[in-house]
Amino acid sequence: MTATPLPTGWPAGVDRVILPEVDSTSEEAARRAPTVPTWILAERQTTARGRRGRAWSMPPGNFAASLAWRPEGTPTDHALRSFTASLALHDTLGALGVAGLSLKWPNDVLLNERKLAGILLESPAPGLLVLGIGLNLIAAPAPVEVEPGAVPPVSLLEASGLRLTPAQFLNALAPAVARREAELVTWGFAPIRTAWIRHAARLGQPVTARLVAETVSGTFEDVDDDGQLVLATDTGRRRIAAGDVFFERA
């Protein structure tokens, strides 16, 4: 694998706050509602959560951080940050020499097809976007903490032997996020989409998307210009804006 060079130095115009403990870095980011882009990093979260309000396990030493900022654009534009964030995670880990990475729609990073990181996007106030990232640096959740049928978790230490502190990982990640954000703002979603699809997990293979009111199965065909999942189903092509994707087991 050829490592992607990382940008160096903390990004200009971006603040950071490091806390020993907080309920949730995303909740703290929403409370602070900063006027300049600000990362909130916590050594411990007491009520961490993932998508759809699910609990997020955070053993000591794992990474939990949220970026709060005020990007221009519509809610649809804001939702595209799940792609820039997952690509930034891929950039960062790849530059650290980690192989076997892939990206699971809409917001997970996999290592050898096991879940390494998750992303949560929220807009707690008009104009404010909060990007939460949790990554299993040291330990993965126990099997009983994982939703049935979900991709099993893995830790970076377990899979690669690479040991980093949360602060060290943030120092590598923040410039990569800033670079991908600048790419989106300057060039639009097209190059982000192309790069994301290049690393997509299970592209061209059967997947199942669980929506609020239905379950849709089909072949993962594409991601469209709005970031929607495109499935080829028995009844035709379906575009899915939001849902949980499950893989068929071999």
The helix (run of H) or strand (run of E) holding residue 159 is helix 156-160
In order of their start, the domains of the chain are 15-198 (3.30.930.10), 206-247 (2.30.30.100)
Q: Residue 233: CB partners within 8 Å, gap ≥ 6?
A: 216, 217, 218, 219
- Identify which of 145, 136, 151 has the alpha carbon closest to the alpha carbon of residue 98: 136
How much is the pTM?
0.92
**Digitized pLDDT (tens) for each residue of the chain, 250 residues in all:** 334 455 568 999 999 999 999 999 999 999 999 999 999 999 998 886 655 445 556 788 999 999 999 999 999 999 999 999 999 999 999 999 999 999 999 999 999 999 999 999 999 999 999 999 999 999 998 776 777 778 999 999 999 999 999 999 999 999 999 999 999 999 999 999 999 999 999 999 999 999 989 999 999 999 999 999 999 999 999 999 999 999 976 4
Q: Note whether 177 and 129 are within 8 A (CB).
A: no
- Identify which of 101, 90, 246 has the alpha carbon closest to the alpha carbon of residue 159: 101
* Cα 106 from Cα 111, distance rounded (Å): 16
